[in-house]
Structure 1
């Protein structure tokens, strides 16, 4: 079976790494090419992932670069179409909900190539999120669906997809997390600030609703600092967020900014932190498995199991809600978390087993 694996943004590489590992360990006849769309082009956002996650350098880089979502989508589609005109795989596999996945899914489908979506069926119900639109588009044209939860499976069934095309396999992001956990390593800021285990807070923000309005971002940062009992707050800032913050030159003794960290360094900070505050869906999955309390600054989530089962609390996007949750944490009243079904490090293996069965169906 000839497979195209599509990746373009930081979360894609984490998810795709588990698939590559499973393919390498499989006895099936698989050939894959890894296609980097170039959606994340900053080295800290994608480059060092190849080393950290032990995945090969891309066979092709479409070099989409910066631009509006429409510009990135167009650039990716044009680049991928050129590749498909010279070589067509048996199946195109896209992961998650970023622009790269949506653009390549459409391009492959228009070339009559079978399409599989990993992390299919998750829904936030919030159409103001570009990711939600991407999810719906990808799922509407996919042939095969690999889900991370039974809720996601039910979402697909309600949308009219046939059960025999849906496979509940678990979470490939957790495969990668568990595989590389022994290699987590401290970043420079750990030593510079003399950080101690469970004595600091991790903060990540990147969604427009949280960072585009500078007055709201300032209120959020101030509220976190005022209610964190003097603990250091480590903020690895997304390049887009860093640019907004730097324009205001904030002055704070407890808030420490750092560029985006490598996968192994960032998760070292996460696993040793007292709390993570974020608006990232993927980080809520990782904190759930690492048993680290997490506050999500969003009004909704496409990963409800991190709240109902895991260590995550959905605080909403209003910074005035934060003191309640921070007090709850410091009072020792945070809920105990559990690990969702099939988040066990074997999702990639299950996916490759399904692909093997599909390949058998293809040739016969």
Structure 2
């Protein structure tokens, strides 16, 4: 497999490396990944994360294992194991299904070429998303984001943050309000790291401060990513997105979901059918990272800790995809379902 380099995953000189996002922003550690078990552990620990990126990373791993001599049965089982590692993120499932289809050719070269194509396609999808989204906004926009949707979540420039990067490239000087994103602080740790790295003006706030900004007219639009979009436009994203959508709707601030077409699940009729991953209660009882661990709740406290929530289509102003920008009327008329036929 040829060398493939991205901000948070790379295949170089015959080895797969993952940037440990759990250690950011204070440490930039590249971890080798050479087994299905290692990749699954990294996905569950959020060392590699972002719906598009975990699909890319899992695909590169399977191709690497094929080149290392894994047989068809081992690769098929590996693909199925990886497919189940993040039940809400449909991009991973799409990628594994493509890899399984390539395996049917019983040809390692086909498997490698599919993984390379998935990596390169993700970059192109991000570019098209960014172009489409940037066309919506003028100069000096104040944009609020949730979680991390940039170069750490994709092989390319990102989804919601990709739009912001494009605005900056066009000289439109956006300012970004960054939701901290409890309980694992992907906004505070990762989005701020990215925005600082690329010189984009930004301000960090706790999730429960977003309502004040929206009330006081300090936000021009909200841009979020997605882990799965149902065919009616409902979508799952990092927990806290639904609350943000309700606040934006109440304050009449445009709310956009930004994602590649690979995040659309046409077999999923609506948001009630999206499986939501429940995570370890320790993430809410305290916090841990490269800085160490802190516990602030009794260990026996009962915890509700869904990784994602579902935002209904009725709260969405528009869906910014690589294939175009869709309104509520277009979604109701089957625009997302038509993507499969295309």
Instruction: Please give the range of the TM-score, normalised by the shorter of the 2 chains.
Output: 0.3 to 0.5
Whichever structure has more helix as a proportion of its residues is 1
Larger Rg: 1
Q: TM-score, normalised by structure 2?
A: 0.33
Q: TM-score, normalised by structure 1?
A: 0.31
